[in-house]
Amino acid sequence: MSSSLTAEQKTIHFLDRTSFGATPDTVQRVNRVGMSAYLDEQLEPEKISDNWVEEKVSALKTIRLNSGELFELYPPPKVAKERGLAGDMMRAPRMIIYELQQARLLRAVKSQRQLNELMVDFWNNHFNIFAAKGADRWLATSYDRDTIRPHALGKFRDLLLATAKSPAMLFYLDNWLSVSPTAARMPANARRRGLNENYGRELMELHTLGVDGGYTQQDVREVARCFTGWTLLRPRGDAEFRFEPRLHDPGEKIVLGRRITLGGMDDGVQVIDLLARHPSTAKFIATKLARRFVADDPPASIVNRAADTFRRSDGDIRTVLRTIIDSPEFFSPEFYRAKVKKPLEFAASALRITGADVRVTPQLIRYLGRMGEPLFLAQPPTGYPDLGSSWISPDMLLTRMNFAADLVGNRLDGARVEPAALRDTQGLIRLVAPDSLSPATRRALAETDEKEGPAMLLAAPEFQRR
């Protein structure tokens, strides 16, 4: 690699980092308006018309429904059996997750609001819930639609508060069951067992400060006390956040040396404000964003610059992203093709680069699971990792090769590629790695039958990376 990227390489690099993969149309758009103007557009997704994909997504019935309607129409097996619906497999709760997965893949492939979709995916992993855990089977749809999506490019503090009050998060990390040890026992709360520290720990370790953010086990306990009473009504129905004063610990708390004295629900809100504006949070979020957009081990210079922007902008996500993407390090040859694509990124970019006519089917969704990323089904609160080492096992890479071959060969149910889109091998190469195919990849292409060339290219190391 030379000491600087060519103009064509910069365009592809920019698109591969700010979207789910370059396409001929997006390359033309960037060349016509310039990267800065294109980034301006992507940072204001509400101004971008996305009618085609929204129409397709709205055709997925569960995406439009609230949690109560989902529980009514797709009850758990026991309830379904009592209603005589046990044989109706389309009403099983797994249908809700399947349509969530469909919507995520459709948007990744076809949305015009590509940067926004990247950030929705990023925050869904950062604030992960496991959609197959109990009531979260009916709460995950609202979590993606009403909690993550509206705040993906807004203020971090607003997003943090929205997740804290989300029925899906309250259920996933058990905070809805957390009560003051001195709270009076009430029959309706028979399941409650006292203080639960799960949310307090993950709030600091994974959502804000980071594992080395300077908090102690005592801080975890104090934060948990602040969030007692943050519970929910009707978890298996039309779930709704509710602050219940009778379950709250009214005593004074000290978090990170700060006295929390507002009382009631405001104790938790004060913690959210404290953590959202803490210097450790600025560094932690800046590091994760730099890891997503630059490299697995991002340079300290870009992390420090992004963290400074985070603090000065009061956690404005748009401003932080612009700082990262506008940084000189972003286009450093050292970081060109430095990131291994996650399975969703790989599959979406393959469907985008081939211009596939997509109708999401079980086969497409199953492929993502076989590659290691069944959407919305990461069990640990860390979500799916953004490190290349997590995605390059021999089995995972073989599955990617099979996906590429099935896609190009039109053997994927739900994805149709026109033969004309595959005839221009050089055009595909310019979208994958202009002026930078390795000698090994060039030899493999030269030795491959022309009809198999596109599949070979999509299976090549260059396309596995962005």
pLDDT digit string (tens) for 157-178? 999 999 999 999 999 999 999 9
pTM: 0.95
Range list of H helices, 183-299: 198-202, 217-226, 266-276, 279-293
CB 349 within 8 A of CB 66: no
Of 225, 220, 184, give the one whose Cα is nearest residue 203: 220
Structure tokens at 49: 């018309």
Q: In angstroms, rounded to a whole number, what is the distance separating the alpha carbons of residues 442 and 451?
A: 15
- Contacting residues for 202 by C-beta, under 8 A, at least 6 apart: 173, 381
Amino acid at 205: E
Q: How much is the CA Rg of the chain, to the nearest whole Å?
A: 23
Question: How many Cβ atoms sit within 10 Å of the Cβ of residue 250?
Answer: 15
pLDDT of residue 451: 85
DSSP designation for 254: E
CA 174 vs CA 145, 196, 265: distances in Å: 21, 7, 17
Burial class (CB in 10 A: 0-12, 13-18, 19+), 7: exposed
Structure tokens at 406: 């099935």
Residue reference for tokens 């519970």: 231
Q: Which residues face 416 on adjacent strands?
A: 357
* DSSP of 373-396: --TT---STT-S---GGGS--HHH
Q: In angstroms, rounded to a whole number, what is the distance separating the alpha carbons of residues 245 and 264?
A: 6
Number of helices (H) and strands (E), helices first, in the chain?
25, 6
Low-confidence ranges of the chain (pLDDT < 50): 187, 189
* DSSP of 27-96: HHHHHHH-HHHHHHHHT-GGGS--HHHHHHHHTSGGGG--HHHHHHHS--HHHHHHTT-TT-GGGSTHHH
Beta strands, E only, 403-453: 415-416
Structure tokens at 11: 């365009």
Between the two ends of the chain, the Cα-to-Cα distance in Å is 15
* DSSP of 154-201: SBHHHHHHHHHT-HHHHHHTTGGGB--TTSPP-GGGTT--B---HHHH
Q: In angstroms, rounded to a whole number, what is the distance separating the alpha carbons of residues 247 and 371?
A: 44
pLDDT in tens, 340-368: 999 999 999 999 999 999 998 999 999 99
Q: In angstroms, rounded to a whole number, what is the distance separating the alpha carbons of residues 11 and 281?
A: 32
pLDDT of residue 191: 60
pLDDT of residue 189: 46
